[in-house]
């Protein structure tokens, strides 16, 4: 059973993602180290004691649809009640509406723990978090007054309605339509698919955010508007009124996250109300809906990256426990009687160390992304802009590298269990099934790689990416300067990885600047992986340097030494693929038969 | 829906795995090129038309146990009947017992197609094939006379009973026991787990091969004997008699291959018969059961490698079809109206080309393993010994590299489908779930890597591995000598990969010879991957060289060019991990918390 790794999370927050110095610098006046510790300890306790025991039940029973109503797995509704009663939903919500307004760094740490405990359960509140953010930043005061407080407490939940059958990665093709009702409200019509927690029994009301086109809207993504469409209309007194014309017509039968209802939503077909049309209210300006969505999407992408970390951590813990317990064969050097625990076998140890390196590396990447968001918030002017650009740059890496790591680590977790890994009751297979969604949703990892190369590398004409790489170089330099025998060989390997990243980055920047779009797109995915691996190495080293001699210090040093010698060597090949792989890819249409 | 890639399979058999020249040299007097074509065309037709339509049904319904009887999915029993009526079960069976005695090369080609069509269905006959082989090579004439013909026709099926809860990778811990009955027969007692097709409704009788210990047997694997234990006893007239004391007490609830019943088998607890004890007959000599099992296990491992190829091919076909059909966005250079098929997007193309490279590369590795087995069979003396050693060397690579490829390709297949990939109805997710067993069973891939390094590299004091690498070098040299513009850059990349393989091989041989077992074991898995990648590249090049100017020639050349520039660069990092990664791995126990 999952236990929150509170010490490692705290160490990463404080020493890798700079929370300790930010607190020391007075960046977060309401947050002291004691409070950080207290919140993380409580969040971890809730995750391990309350959420984790209901994970397998959710997978086995799934969410069920009957007569338009969705029943969540046994015990989940009550769990959600305990969750909001504990105040967890409002952790990062705006203080003006009852939230605690904690920094994103605290959010990612808590979100990690909840998703490790039960991904399919924790996913719902993530959507609500996104809805809160979009409403808080872009909606009218009237809408805020009516909806925000209840979303922040968790009394109501929120959803995001983007995808349609013909419009997935490409929202240009979006067809849902909106009509002005003349009274300031709108009527929404259309079908949306893959709507997470589009319908459920956790809360009395559900606040849908829906992308749709007005009749006179320009074609493409510049003609999309964002609407708030509640399941039940809300009176001026805040009381629930009539059912709105929106309902769930089907649930998907999915590979994983069975407890999370993935809904097909029908808006405005006349099932409810006097005449067809779901009543909605505009968020932001007409035709500017995508911009509103994007503010929110960056955080959502970071949170999905965190889900990758979460699954990886859960898979690592499960595999580690099994490898310590299961005996088979005699490992080299084993002195006991009979068979040795399989953790003693070098190949099993390689799997576990790879799992831990990827878990901790992607955690560090995600947390430094949260750090950049927080710093952008608490600084001003050019400083703030630079931090925001850094967050924008790291976001696609955090999303894609971490979710790929989630799948890889979960798959290694199955392998460590041998035959038991393939048996559902073990739980290792569930983690792999659950993990597999994260590289797909919230922008596929291919889309993330394109975003990284085409939109993020060119930020400030390349200065943003150069500054980040320079920070990684500083980590490598610090290792070298330390002359620490525990980190023997690490500085050399980091230098080489950073050189590979620099070479590939120059190539990519040049390709983008000179309009060689095909080359940039062809190498985007290996480039993102190269970036993620190098960042992992630098950040693992940063964490090890900060914790020398302390509890866990020896383990952190050993982990980066392992990763440097065993995982970082991949960067040379990736760099070569980025810089020399495009031509053969472009020429290979004949092979695709 | 899967269609057998008969042309590509034939090309690989003939030109990569040497079947054309073997036939030309008169190695297989009963087999002409026309017959090869006819058999492959018919097998492909059966796979596509008869087996494939029942694959999803098998996954959805699964095998079910009630009152000790297993019901296979709807339509599967009838499919099995058509399968044996078509004579497919006896393809490689001994001619003396009604089989066609075809070379292993024909077997792997057919097995590939059947497993692509429905892995969980085709798995059953693979077990029968193994049982036939063990009985044919090691049993008495009396047992052969009684059992072989019906196993060869498929009227009965066979099983392999090795694993027990405490004895998986380590058969030393095996506890099932056998007692001499005094009449030449034995009584078997014990529990076996993970028994594939241990019970089902395909056939009237099931022939279990069971590993157990005699009371006076030495400890460890030298005290294990192999027994034939039929579900129903067989009279001298060949008629079925009393039910034997062996039954299925449970089915596993698995991640994939739902149609294949994975049974817990109970032998000798008194459920059937007058007194407890399942009646069995010795195969081979007492205490030499593991040796009997191993003759068979090599072929079984190759066949599991083929299953990796099968899943990869099925996943590639499905993803390719989707990528040609689904439109989204506008790919660079797309000239049509509206959205372009996603196959035009460079990142999607990278996924598909990676999938195809891994599929075709692992197919070529498996087929060359079959070639070595066949050549060992049709040659004599030193030549035969060399071919057999080559087969032994390639077997763990064929098993592990191909099954890893199966998982990776199936996972990429899910990704190409985007959100649809996570929905079970699409079928891409089933392939991933099914694929995941292959790296685990028949010796985990970690065990294969250890086998490769500790037992196979030292064959003929390293001469076996050096000869194989020299063959790959000859492929690279041929590409260079051809000066073919279609293969620009390929020779250089192959040279580098082969150099990396040589470096790592020397290191490993030295580690094994000088007793640095820890280092050899630590690097075994990356070494196996390095070997597989390099072999893939050389064999893809061999296939491309042979088919220049012919149908499909352009595509084969384009594929190796892609693989050389985009996949082979990984070898440098792998070689470095093998030669420099062990120390940090051994020292990293402190990190495993």
Which whole-number Å values give the CA distances from A146 to A138, A188, B331, in the listed order? 14, 20, 43
Which whole-number Å values give the CA distances from B555 to B357, B360, B493, B558, in the listed order? 11, 12, 19, 5
Helices (H), B177-335: 289-325
Q: Which residue of A has its CA nearest to B321?
A: A593
Q: Which of B346, B415, B591 sits opposite A518 (nearest CB)?
A: B346
- In this predicted structure, what is the pLDDT of residue B550? 87
Give the closest residue to A223 by CA, choosing from A158, A285, A152. A285
CB contacts, 8 Å: B350 with chain A: 522, 525, 585
Q: What is the pLDDT along chain A (593 residues), one digit of tens a residue?
A: 899 999 999 999 999 999 999 999 999 999 999 999 999 999 999 999 999 999 999 999 999 999 999 999 999 999 999 999 999 999 989 999 999 999 999 999 999 999 999 999 999 999 999 999 999 999 999 999 999 999 999 999 999 999 999 999 999 999 999 999 999 999 999 999 999 999 999 999 999 999 999 999 999 999 999 999 999 999 999 999 999 999 999 999 999 999 999 999 999 999 999 899 999 999 999 999 999 988 788 899 999 999 999 999 999 999 999 999 999 999 998 999 999 999 999 999 999 999 999 999 999 999 999 999 999 999 999 999 999 999 999 999 999 999 999 999 999 999 999 999 999 999 999 999 999 999 999 999 999 999 999 999 999 999 999 999 999 999 999 999 999 999 999 999 999 999 999 999 999 999 999 999 999 999 999 999 999 999 999 999 999 999 888 889 999 999 999 999 999 999 999 999 999 999 999 999 999 99
- Which residues 184-223 in chain A show a CB within 8 A of chain B? 193-194
- In this predicted structure, what is the pLDDT of residue B86? 96
Of chain B, the end-to-end C-alpha distance in Å amounts to: 46
The tokens describing A66, both together, are: 């009957």
Rounded Cα distance, A2 and A359, in Å? 15
Rounded Cα distance, A161 and A248, in Å? 12
Tell me whether B517 touches chain A (CB under 8 Å): yes
**Number of helical H runs and strand E runs in chain B:** 20, 12
Of chain A, the end-to-end C-alpha distance in Å amounts to: 46
Give the number of beta-carbon pairs within 8 Å between A and B. Answer: 285
In terms of C-beta density within 10 A (0-12 exposed, 13-18 middle, 19 or more buried), how is residue A337 classed?
Answer: exposed
CA atoms within 13 Å, Cβ hemisphere of A405: 37
Q: How far, rounded to the nearest angstrom, does the alpha carbon of residue B381 sit from its chain's CA centroid?
A: 28
Residues paired with residue A196 on neighbouring β-strands, in sequence order: A262
B214 pLDDT above the threshold of 80: yes
Q: Which residue of B has its CA nearest to A318?
A: B593
CB contacts, 8 Å: B169 with chain A: 328-329, 418
Q: Which of A256, A558, A581 sits opposite B588 (nearest CB)?
A: A558
- In this predicted structure, what is the pLDDT of residue A92? 87
Work out the mean pLDDT of chain B and round it to a whole number.
Answer: 97
- In this predicted structure, what is the pLDDT of residue A84? 97
Helix or strand or coil: residue A530? Answer: helix
CB contacts, 8 Å: A170 with chain B: 328-329, 339
Which whole-number Å values give the CA distances from B3 to B24, B113, B249, B321, B425, in the listed order? 29, 9, 38, 11, 19
Q: Do B565 and A584 touch (CB under 8 A)?
A: yes
Helices (H), B118-177: 119-138, 141-153
Catalytic residues of B: 442
Q: Do A565 and B581 touch (CB under 8 A)?
A: yes
| Pair A470, A504: CB distance under 8 Å | no
Residue in the structure block whose two tokens are 């929110």:
A296
CATH number corresponding to B157-287: 2.40.110.20
Tell me whether B474 touches chain A (CB under 8 Å): no
CB contacts, 8 Å: A423 with chain B: 252-255
- In this predicted structure, what is the pLDDT of residue A121? 98
Mutation pick from B503, B548, B592 vs chain A, by most beta carbons of A within 10 Å, is B592
Which contiguous run of DSSP H or E holds residue B243? strand B240-243
Long-range contacts at A129-133 (CB < 8 A, ≥ 24 apart): A129/A92, A129/A93, A129/A299, A129/A303, A130/A158, A130/A160, A130/A209, A130/A296, A130/A297, A130/A299, A130/A300, A131/A158, A131/A159, A131/A160, A131/A207, A131/A209, A131/A296, A132/A93, A132/A94, A132/A99, A132/A158, A133/A295, A133/A296, A133/A299
- In this predicted structure, what is the pLDDT of residue A437? 98
Please state the domain extents for chain A.
Answer: 444-586
Contacts of A427 (CB under 8 A, 6+ apart): A55, A56, A318
Mutation pick from B584, B586, B587, B589 vs chain A, by most beta carbons of A within 10 Å, is B584
Which contiguous run of DSSP H or E holds residue B69? strand B69-71
Contacts of B78 (CB under 8 A, 6+ apart): none
Give the closest residue to B371 by CA, choosing from B353, B389, B387. B387
- Which residues 296-355 in chain B show a CB within 8 A of chain A? 320, 328-329, 332-333, 339, 343, 345-353
Question: At residue B474, what are phi and psi to the nearest 5 degrees?
Answer: -65, -35
Tell me whether A581 touches chain B (CB under 8 Å): yes
Q: Do B333 and A518 touch (CB under 8 A)?
A: yes
- In this predicted structure, what is the pLDDT of residue A10? 98
pLDDT in tens, B368-392: 999 999 999 999 999 999 999 999 9
Rounded Cα distance, B201 and B420, in Å? 34
Q: Which residue of A has its CA nearest to B558?
A: A588
Q: Do B566 and A556 touch (CB under 8 A)?
A: no
Q: Do B345 and A446 touch (CB under 8 A)?
A: yes
Question: At residue A278, what are phi and psi to the nearest 5 degrees?
Answer: -80, 130
CB contacts, 8 Å: B525 with chain A: 347, 350
Label residue B459 by pLDDT band (50, 70, 90): very high
Contacts of A382 (CB under 8 A, 6+ apart): none
- Give B22-42 as a DSSP string: HHHTTSSTT--HHHHHHHHHH
- In this predicted structure, what is the pLDDT of residue A110? 98
CB contacts, 8 Å: B256 with chain A: 422
Mutation pick from A422, A423, A448, A567 vs chain B, by most beta carbons of B within 10 Å, is A422
Please state the length of chain A: 593
Rounded Cα distance, A322 and A463, in Å? 46
- In this predicted structure, what is the pLDDT of residue A298? 83
Q: From the CA of A579, how many Å to the nearest CA of chain B?
A: 10
pTM for the structure as a whole? 0.98
CB contacts, 8 Å: B592 with chain A: 320, 343, 349, 352-353, 356, 555
B38 pLDDT above the threshold of 90: yes
In terms of C-beta density within 10 A (0-12 exposed, 13-18 middle, 19 or more buried), how is residue A399 classed?
Answer: buried
Tell me whether A256 touches chain B (CB under 8 Å): yes
Which whole-number Å values give the CA distances from A77 to A115, A131, A152, in the listed order? 17, 20, 18
The tokens describing B573, both together, are: 């990092």
| Pair A469, A502: CB distance under 8 Å | yes
Question: At residue B541, what are phi and psi to the nearest 5 degrees?
Answer: -65, -40
Question: Which of 1.10.540.10, 1.20.58.740, 1.20.120.160, 3.40.50.1820 is the CATH number of B6-153?
Answer: 1.10.540.10
Q: From the CA of B563, how many Å to the nearest CA of chain A?
A: 9
Q: From the CA of B44, how many Å to the nearest CA of chain A?
A: 17
Instruction: Specify the DSSP class assigned to residue B254.
Output: B
- Give A221-281 as a DSSP string: GGGBEEEEEESEEE-TTS-EEEEPSEEEEEE--BSS-TTS-EEEEEESSSSSSSSS-EEEE
- In this predicted structure, what is the pLDDT of residue B298? 83
pLDDT in tens, B537-548: 999 999 999 988
Q: Which of B489, B555, B581 sits opposite A590 (nearest CB)?
A: B555
Rounded Cα distance, A323 and A325, in Å? 5
Residue in the structure block whose two tokens are 């190695």:
B27
Rounded Cα distance, A220 and B268, in Å? 71
Q: From the CA of B384, how many Å to the nearest CA of chain A?
A: 33
Rounded Cα distance, A247 and A267, in Å? 7
- In this predicted structure, what is the pLDDT of residue A297? 84
- Which residues 110-129 in chain A show a CB within 8 A of chain B? none
CB contacts, 8 Å: B347 with chain A: 446, 449-450, 521-522, 524-525
| Pair B349, B343: CB distance under 8 Å | yes
Strands (DSSP E) contained in B391-538 are none
Label residue B261 by pLDDT band (50, 70, 90): very high
Q: Do B574 and A577 touch (CB under 8 A)?
A: no
Rounded Cα distance, B278 and B191, in Å? 12
Q: From the CA of A64, how many Å to the nearest CA of chain B?
A: 16
Q: From the CA of A92, how many Å to the nearest CA of chain B?
A: 29
Rounded Cα distance, A109 and A7, in Å? 11
Cα dihedral sign, B499-B500-B502-B507 = positive
Catalytic residues of A: 442
**Number of helical H runs and strand E runs in chain A:** 20, 12
- Which residues 141-170 in chain A show a CB within 8 A of chain B? 163, 168-170
> Once rounded to an integer, what is the mean pLDDT over residues B233-243?
96
């Amino acid at each position: 059973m999952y236990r929150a790794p509170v010490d490692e999370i705290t160490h990463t927050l404080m020493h890798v993602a700079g929370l300790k110095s930010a607190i020391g610098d007075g960046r977060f006046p309401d947050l002291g180290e004691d409070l950080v510790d207290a919140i993380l300890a409580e969040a971890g306790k809730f995750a391990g004691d309350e959420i984790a025991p209901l994970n397998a039940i959710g997978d086995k029973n799934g969410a069920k649809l009957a007569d338009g109503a969705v029943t969540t797995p046994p015990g989940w509704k009550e769990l959600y009640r305990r969750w909001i009663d504990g105040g967890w939903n409002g952790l990062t919500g705006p203080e003006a509406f009852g939230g605690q307004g904690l920094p994103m760094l605290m959010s990612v740490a808590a979100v990690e723990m909840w998703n490790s405990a039960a991904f399919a359960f924790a996913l719902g509140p993530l959507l609500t978090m996104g809805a809160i953010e979009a409403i808080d930043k872009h909606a009218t005061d009237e809408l805020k007054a009516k909806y925000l407080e209840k979303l922040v407490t968790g009394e109501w939940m929120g959803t995001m309605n983007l995808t349609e059958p013909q419009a997935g990665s490409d929202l240009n093709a979006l067809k849902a339509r909106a009509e002005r009702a003349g009274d300031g409200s709108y009527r929404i019509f259309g079908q949306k698919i893959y709507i997470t927690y589009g319908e459920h029994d956790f809360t009395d009301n559900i606040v849908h955010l829906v992308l749709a086109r007005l009749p006179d809207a320009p074609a493409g993504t510049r003609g999309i508007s964002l609407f708030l469409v509640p399941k039940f209309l809300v009176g001026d007194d805040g009381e629930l009124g009539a059912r709105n014309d929106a309902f769930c017509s089907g649930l998907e039968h999915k590979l994983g996250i069975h407890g999370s209802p993935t809904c097909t939503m029908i808006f405005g077909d006349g099932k409810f109300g006097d005449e067809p049309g779901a009543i909605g209210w505009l968020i932001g300006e007409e035709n500017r809906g995508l911009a509103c969505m994007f503010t929110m999407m960056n955080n959502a992408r970071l949170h999905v990256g965190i889900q990758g970390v979460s699954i990886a951590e859960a898979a690592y813990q499960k595999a580690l426990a099994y490898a310590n317990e299961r005996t088979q064969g005699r490992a080299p050097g084993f002195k006991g009687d009979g068979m040795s625990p399989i953790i003693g076998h070098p190949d099993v140890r390689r799997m576990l160390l790879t799992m831990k390196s990827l878990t901790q590396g992607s955690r560090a990447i995600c947390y430094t992304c949260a750090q950049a968001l927080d710093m952008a918030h608490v600084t001003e002017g050019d400083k703030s802009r630079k931090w925001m650009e850094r967050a924008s740059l790291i976001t696609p890496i955090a999303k894609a590298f971490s979710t790929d790591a989630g799948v890889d680590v979960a798959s290694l977790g199955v392998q460590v269990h041998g035959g038991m890994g393939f048996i559902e009751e073990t739980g290792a297979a569930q983690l792999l099934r659950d993990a597999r969604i994260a590289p797909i949703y919230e922008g596929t990892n291919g889309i993330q790689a394109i975003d990284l190369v085409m939109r993020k590398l060119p930020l400030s004409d390349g200065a943003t990416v150069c500054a980040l790489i320079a920070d990684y170089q500083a980590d490598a330099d610090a290792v070298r300067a330390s002359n620490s025998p525990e980190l023997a060989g690490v500085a050399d390997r980091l230098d080489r990885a950073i050189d590979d990243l620099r070479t590939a980055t120059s190539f990519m920047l040049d390709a983008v600047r000179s309009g060689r779009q095909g080359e940039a797109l062809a190498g985007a995915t290996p480039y993102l992986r190269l970036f993620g691996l190098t960042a992992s190495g630098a950040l693992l080293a940063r964490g090890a340097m900060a914790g020398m001699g302390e509890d866990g210090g020896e383990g952190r040093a050993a982990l980066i030494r392992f990763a440097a010698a065993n995982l970082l060597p991949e960067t040379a090949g990736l760099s070569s693929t980025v810089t020399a792989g495009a031509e053969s890819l472009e020429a290979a249409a004949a092979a695709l038969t």
